[in-house]
Amino acid sequence: MTAFPPDFLWGASTSPHQIEGNNVNSDWWAREGLVPGMEVSGDADDSYHRFREDMQLLADAGLTSYRFGIEWARIEPRQGQFSKAELAHYRRMIDTALELGLTPIITLHHFTNPRWFAEEGGWLSPHATERFTAYVTAVTEILQDVEWVVTINEPNMMAMMVMLQEAMRSGQVAEWQSPTVEGAASDRERIAANLPVPTADFAQPFIEAHHAARDILRRRTSAKVGWSIANGALYSAAEHEQKLIEVRYLWEDLYLHAAVEDDFIGVQSYSAQEVNAEGLVPHPDHPENTMTGAAYRPDALGSAVRHATAVTGLPALITENGIPTGDDARRIRYTAEALSYVADAIDEGVAVRGYLHWSLLDNYEWGHWAPTFGLIAVDRETFVRTPKPSLSWLGQVARSQGASLGARE
Ligand code: BGC
């Protein structure tokens, strides 16, 4: 007996800046290298040119779906100047996916902005929605036959990043404490575990832009529209329930409420985190921690899909789940466990439409190359792709519609 329905989407996710290379008109490109210890994206995985090979590997393994992004900074390198050649490039990617039998899931914004947009004031500028929707309108011209569109990836992480940048600009914090500080996992752990919770005013520009983009996509395409939230799988002891509700509201429920009229909710889950009377509890050093210092919590995905679907009343599409590790057997173990929690949720009646593993390729992890999330390793000198055992393992799970995961209690 398998919990996964026959039309369940099985695949992997990427984002443009992390794999394409030479995204020179983006704000991230401009920022890279300015912070000590931060690595640059450079040629990345050169997936801009090698996307067919990447999709072919995914399809050959038995997977049926690929989530990838369109890079705003390439489509509109100057405000109001839209590149027909770049639109054609992304249309070729969509055609290639369809030709290989992969359902394309398209992300329109994944952390990076065009440099001109950032210089104009970015998401805090009064023009933010107008600028974003002009780009979205241009992209609708290439979205024929695309069934799934994610407008903005992790608006809650974006709001947090914008809040930190603002605090830096106004001198409230001396240096942007991004997870890019040189050193071991413990440095990153300290920072990642102490990320501030964004206040509601930083959420508003993203909510407004998402709603405006959704209207345009509904008018001009036949795609299902949603956005994908960083789901924290937050929990607390019973006596801190009230604080949990407050923190979870600002961290994710605000963004889930803003999705209730969408067609699906994108769920992105890696780990779980405790809340106590003071707020998020920094996660301590532990031998089981992953390469980015997060707790090893495959069960988080089960809590995340339950919470996101309960709050929104929408079907979930798991748009990201994975583990940064150099030990591929551990990746397989983590993913098998995470999927068993998804299967339990489906058995209980939770609507889940698909599972997209993060990530197809080892890639640029926002300042670092060390954390390897990929089902495929990439030689950064030669760009040779080497599939890891986890790729064929996940392909087998897909071909068997989950049956190869084995019997569950
Ligand atoms: C992001 C990805 C990132 C991944 C692993 C998510 O927050 O959408 O871009 O690489 O987590 O950290």
pLDDT in tens, 353-403: 999 999 999 999 999 999 999 999 999 999 999 999 999 999 999 999 999
Structure confidence at residue 33 (pLDDT): 81
Atom 9 of ligand 1 has which residue's CA nearest to it?
Answer: 15
**What are the contacts of 194-201 at 24+ separation with CB within 8 A?**
194/280, 194/282, 195/160, 195/280, 196/160, 196/163, 196/164, 197/160, 197/247, 197/250, 197/251, 197/279, 197/280, 198/156, 198/159, 198/160, 198/162, 198/163, 198/250, 198/251, 199/163, 199/250, 200/250, 200/254
- Cβ-contact 196, 120 below 8 angstroms: no
Task: Determine whether the shortest distance from the Cβ of 68 to ligand 1 is under 6 A.
Answer: no
**pTM for the full model?**
0.96
**Residues in contact with 358: Cβ distance below 8 Å, sequence separation at least 6, in sequence order:** 12, 13, 268, 270, 320, 321, 322, 373
365 is catalytic: no
Distance of CA 189 to the CA centre of its chain: 19
Q: How do the domains of the chain map onto residue ranges?
A: 9-405
Angle between helices 47-61 and 84-99 (to 10 degrees): 10
Q: Is the pLDDT of residue 181 over 50?
A: no
Task: Band the pLDDT of 320: cuts 50, 70, 90.
Answer: very high
pLDDT of residue 169: 82
What pLDDT shows up at residue 174? 54
Q: What percent of the chain has pLDDT over 90?
A: 86
Q: For residue 186, is pLDDT > 90?
A: no
On average, the pLDDT of the chain sits at 93
| pLDDT for 182 beyond 80 | no
Q: Whose CA is nearest to atom 5 of ligand 1?
A: 365
Cβ–Cβ under 8 Å, residues 72 and 115: no
Catalytic residue among 86, 154, 189, 252: 154
The CATH T-level fold of domain 9-405 is TIM Barrel (3.20.20)
Q: Which atom of ligand 1 is nearest to the CA of 363?
A: 10
User: Above 90 in pLDDT, residue 199?
Assistant: yes
pLDDT band at 187 (very low <50, low <70, confident <90, very high): very low
Q: Is any ligand 1 atom within 6 A of the Cβ of residue 363?
A: no
Using most ligand atoms within 8 A of CB, pick from 320, 321, 368, 375 the residue to mutate for ligand 1: 320
How many whole angstroms separate alpha carbon 182 and alpha carbon 211? 38
Cα(211)–Cα(151) distance, integer angstroms: 9
Residue 292 tokens read as 């980015």
Q: How far apart are the first and last CA of the chain?
A: 11
Q: Find out whether the beta carbon of 362 lies less than 6 Å from any atom of ligand 1.
A: no
- Cβ neighbors of 376 (< 8 A, separation 6 or more) are 54, 57, 360, 361, 362, 385, 386, 387, 388, 391
Pick from 16-20, 101-105, 373-377, 405-409: least confident:
405-409
**Burial of 354 (C-beta count, 10 Å sphere; 0-12/13-18/19+):** buried
* pLDDT > 50? residue 121: yes
Q: pLDDT by residue (tens digit) across 35-55? A: 778 899 999 999 999 999 999
* Cβ of 263 below 6 Å from ligand 1: no
Q: Is the CB of residue 377 below 6 angstroms from any atom belonging to ligand 1? A: no
- Return the percentage of the chain with pLDDT > 70, whole number: 93
The answer, yes or no, to whether any atom of ligand 1 lies below 6 A from the CB of 178, is: no
Please choose from 366, 368, 375 the residue to mutate so as to test ligand 1's pocket, defined by most ligand atoms within 8 A of CB.
Answer: 366
